[in-house]
Amino acid sequence: MNNESLIRFCDVSYRYESDNETPLPLAIKNINIDIKKGEFVAILGHNGSGKSTLAKLSNAIILPESGNVFVEGMDTADEKLEYDIRQKVGVVFQNPDNQIVATIVEEDVAFGPENLGIEPAEIRQRVDDALKSVGMYEYRLHEPHKLSGGQKQRVAIAGVMAMQTDCIVLDEPTAMLDPKGREEVMKSMLRLNKEMGKTVVLITHYMDEAVKADRVIVMNSGNVVLDGTPREVFSHEEIIENAGLELPDSSKLALKLKKNGVNLPDGILTPDEFIEAFKFSLSGGASH
Amino acid sequence: MIKDITIGQYFPGDSFIHKLDARAKLIVVFLALVEIFLCKNFLSLALIVIFAIVSVAISKISFKVVFKGMKMIYFIIVLTSVLQIFYNDEGTVLLDWWKLKITTGGIFTAIFMAIRIICLILVSSLLTYTTSPTTLTDGISRLLSPLNKIKVPVDTLAMMMTIALRFIPTLIEEIDKIMNAQKARGADLDSGNLVQRAKALVPIFIPLFVNSFRRAYELAFAMECRCYNGNNKRTRMKQMKFSWRDVVAFGIIAVMLAGIILLNHFFGAVI
């Protein structure tokens, strides 16, 4: 990981248009976030915290009311750079049904590169690579509507991959999926980040997903309230709860046990960590 | 019931017909339809019937599927041919009752018509059975590309068609869901007279429309994210190339045209 900035939000505010005279409150308030190349960032927040707005701001789908968003130094407000920006940052949305354009999996994945005017042979190569990287290659000739939710979402991710963007922003990609589909998508995201070096920004409200990120940002009513490693962020129980979120299950359980006198260390995040610590506490740790 | 409609569906395969170039297939099917209307007697019609049956056989799509797909149209076939019986009063009179007169000529025309309609449907549905919707729209847009010169937005229209086809199964699924949701709230969809039933459909179509607008909005975002803007120079992953197969298909259709003209000329017309 290096320190080069990929997406930079500088003092960004955004307000959705209102249907009537009274303007809506700001969805995003003077936000400063710097996302570095190669990071896996999870953005957490409950409904209406402004986290999805960040996704749309990140590749010039919407423009900030004040402040600037820079993608590799390019200002998203510059219309001429729109294309270059979208080739750097791809976005995957919540509902896979509403982002698949074609009737055959591989043709959908080819949609992005086709728009970029890339040579057919090169598109073929990119489509095959993208489908393999999300484990959907054997489904390339299937019809999208016959796939499961997790598979559809992986096709959508492949569609962004085929454009060879440096960064993928996923806006609650697992919200409409069953646990199995969620796991599939999560695996693909981790693979993109760890093996292929892509920057991944995962917007979610599942704690268990956020725990796997390098960095967690917590949003509450348009503000960034926490920003740090999962361990740092989840040690602030009160702020997390004020943001309308809950700690990961393992952390919650560990905290409760600790309050009742069980000897456990701080900062337990995953089930595996919990089991290790609990075993230790049962065997030797507790008797001393 | 809505799921039984197989017309317009695509059955993947790798037969001779599947492998034809979409543009060639479109032209061949168009010519075949023209030829069906050129037939004037049973002999030339027989040529078409053989062509249609052999085509279906080559495509390896089961006849069961093909005829099941036609189920919805049987009524139209029967109605049209029955009407034909009374339009033709040539030949021997078989029945003369009140103002209705049935003649051998009428019966022949009726049978002729029925076969003709069945052939029309067979040939045209074979086109969609063996061509993926995207390839088909791609083929249409390439055939129509000269119209770009007179500012007809062919590519945009083709994209609209692709999206429409893509959303048919999604919307069918959605209608199903909404119907179940409304039934769960006590909506009565299956009883009453025609007007009552039509009224019962309102609470199904309103959510469907609202959802469709939302979908369209999200789809537009997703397409923009993937750099679509409707006027950029798009390339295609799949190149279209004419092959020997297309030449063979054109050859067959040309020979059939000659055959039909000759048979019409030498054996007289039924119609």
Q: Identify the domain containing residue B21 by its residue range.
A: 2-267
- Count CB atoms within 10 A of the CB of residue B87: 11
**pLDDT of B157 strictly over 80:** yes
SS (H, E, C) chain A: CCCCEEEEEEEEEECCCCCCCCCCCCCEEEEEEEEECCCEEEEECCCCCCHHHHHHHHCCCCCCCEEEEEECCEECCCHHHHHHHHHHEEEECCCHHHCCCCCCHHHHHCHHHHHCCCCHHHHHHHHHHHHHHCCCHHHCCCCHHHCCHHHHHHHHHHHHHCCCCCEEEEECCCCCCCHHHHHHHHHHHHHHHHCCCCEEEEEECCHHHHCCCCEEEEEECCEEEEEECHHHHCCCHHHHHHCCCCCCHHHHHHHHHHHCCCCCCCCCCCHHHHHHHHHHHHHHHCCC
Q: Which two tokens stand for residue B151?
A: 């500012």
Q: Read off the pTM.
A: 0.79
| Predicted confidence (pLDDT) per residue in A117-170, tens digit | 899 999 999 999 999 988 899 999 888 888 998 999 999 999 999 999 999 999
Q: What band does B271 get if pLDDT is binned at 50, 70 and 90?
A: low
ipTM: 0.83
Q: What is the mean pLDDT of residues B237-242?
A: 83
For chain B, how many structural domains are there in total?
Answer: 1
Which SS3 state, helix, strand or coil, does residue B103 take? strand
The CATH topology of domain A5-247 is: Rossmann fold (3.40.50)
Query: Best residue in B156, B167, B223, B225 to probe A by mutation, most A CBs within 10 Å?
Result: B225
Please identify among residues 33-52 of chain B the ones whose CB lies closer than 8 Å to any CB of chain A: none
Q: What is the mean pLDDT of residues B59-68?
A: 85
Q: Which residue of B has its CA nearest to A97?
A: B170
Q: What is the mean pLDDT of residues B212-228?
A: 91
Enumerate the residues of chain A whose CB falls inside 8 A of the CB of residue B218.
93, 95, 98-99
**pLDDT of A239 strictly over 60:** yes
**pLDDT of A2 strictly over 90:** no
Q: What band does A251 get if pLDDT is binned at 50, 70 and 90?
A: confident
Q: Which residue of B has its CA nearest to A115?
A: B234
What does the pLDDT read at residue A287?
46
What does the pLDDT read at residue B75?
86
**pLDDT of B191 strictly over 80:** no
| Predicted confidence (pLDDT) per residue in B2-49, tens digit | 555 555 678 888 899 998 999 999 999 999 999 999 988 888 999 999
**pLDDT, mean over chain A:** 88
What does the pLDDT read at residue A103?
84
What does the pLDDT read at residue B70?
80
B176 touches chain A (CB under 8 A): no
Residue A37 or B270, more confident: A37
Query: Best residue in A98, A106, A141, A155 to probe B by mutation, most B CBs within 10 Å?
Result: A98
What does the pLDDT read at residue A254?
86
